[in-house]
Structure formats: structure tokens, C-alpha cells
Structure 1
């Protein structure tokens, strides 16, 4: 199975001059755990909820005074829409990240794939897991 079959195509980018409070608000509104910084054509990095927690809150900094450019992880790690899921998972494991930007060859960012996306797809594709979930669901209904 290819990355393009699993990735999220919803893209919202933030500006490098946006502050951590605005980024947190954006994440809350979009119900996501990260926001890419820059544009689809020129991605600069990514800020995650963990970045805000550890690089801002845990240090006692005022979120409205910390800019995205100062806490973002860069460069943005990427895979290709035609990569298979094992390739994306291998990149995540090797780089110790939970998400990858999906970039079309010589083009813009076209989506995101996360560890949660991969886990759902790989686990739900398992017949034994599906059977177990069905049994658990039917047992709890009784």
C-alpha cells in the first residue's frame, strides 16, 4: 500500500513569525498535534504540541513571546506519495519522528502521514486484530 492511500490531505501552514500561543490555538481549532511552518511550496519546519510543551511551557516562557521560527524542528522530513508504508515507517524510525510531510516529486507538500495513520492502517489490516476487536465489541455489548 502506498503513502498516498493513507495520508491526510488537509494542509494548514503557519507563518514563522506566528507565536506559540497562536500555534497552540491553531492546533486546537484543527484538532491536530502539529503545524507545519512556511508554505506547501517552501516548507521551513514543523512545530508540535510537544515542542510548545517542552520548549516553551516547561521553560516558563510566555507563549505569546516565543516565535515559531525559534521552536520549530527543521528541516521538515519528507516522503513521496508513491512510497510504500514500510518505507515511510522506516524513515520515521530512523529519524525518531512521528510524522512526515508528503511531497510530490519536484513539487509542493501534498499531505501528511503520521505514525497514528500508519498504525491504524497496518493494525486494522490484520485479520486477527479485526477479529479480536469484533469479539471485544460484541462481548461488551452483551
Structure 2
């Protein structure tokens, strides 16, 4: 089974110039913990609820003025939609990741894969 068959295709995005307060409100509204960060060039980072807590709230940054681009993860770990699911899951376990951006072979964001997606499909 390939990642493209089990991933989440409908992905909410955020731009690096948005505030953390806005990002957190979107996460709450959509009940998600991961946002791919995009600009005109494509995927430039990722933002998780954990990033907000550890990189902004804990050090006392102001969520209303701090930008997503200031704390997002820029070293993006990703997989491709045509990769075998079992191999991607093993890689996620080895790297202690809960979710990954999924790209197509033209390096465009195609979706997101999470450990929940694997469990839903019995992998």
C-alpha cells in the first residue's frame, strides 16, 4: 500500500507571516496539531502545537505578535505519495515523528500522513 492511498488529502495551511495566535486558533477550530507552512515558493516549514508551546509560550514570546515563520520547523521531514506505507511508518518510528508532509514527485505538497492514518488502515 502506498502513502497516497492512506494519507489525509485535505490539508489546512498557514503562511509564515501569520501570528501564532492565529495559527493556534485555526488548530483549535479544526482540531488539528500540525500545519504545513507555505509561501509563494511552496512548502517552507511546519508548525505543531508542540512548537508553539516549547518555542513561543515557554520562553514568554507574545503569541499575538510572534510570527509563524519565527518559530516554525524549517528542517522539513517528508515522504512521497508513492512510497510504501510500511517503510514510511518505520522511518517515522525511528525519527520519533507523529506526522509527515507528503509531497508528489514534483515536490509539491500533496497531503499529510499521521500515525492515526496508519492505524485506521491496519498498518
1:119 to 2:122 alignment: no
Unaligned runs of 5+ in 2: none
Q: Following TM superposition, where does structure 1 have runs of at least 4 consecutive aligned residues deviating by more than 3 angstroms? A: none
Corresponding position of 2:10: 10
Higher strand proportion: 2
Structure 1 residues 2 and 67: alpha-carbon distance in aligned structure 2, compared to 1, 3 A threshold: same
Q: Secondary structure at the match of 1:112?
A: strand
Structure 1 residues 45 and 15: alpha-carbon distance in aligned structure 2, compared to 1, 3 A threshold: same
Higher helix proportion: 1
Count of aligned residue pairs for this structure pair: 123
Corresponding position of 1:74: 74
* Structure-2-length-normalised TM-score: 0.89
Can you list the C-alpha shifts for 1:74-101, whole angstroms capped at 9, x where unaligned? 2321111111111111221233221111
Name the CA distance, whole Å, in 2 between partners of 1:12 and 1:117.
Answer: 16
- Structure 1 or 2, whichever has the larger Rg, is 1
Unaligned runs of 5+ in 1: 124-142
How far residue 66 of structure 1 moved from its aligned partner, in angstroms, is: 1.4
Measured on the aligned residues, the alpha-carbon RMSD in Å equals: 1.8
Choose between structure 1 and 2 for higher RCO, CA contacts under 8 A separated by at least 6 residues: 2
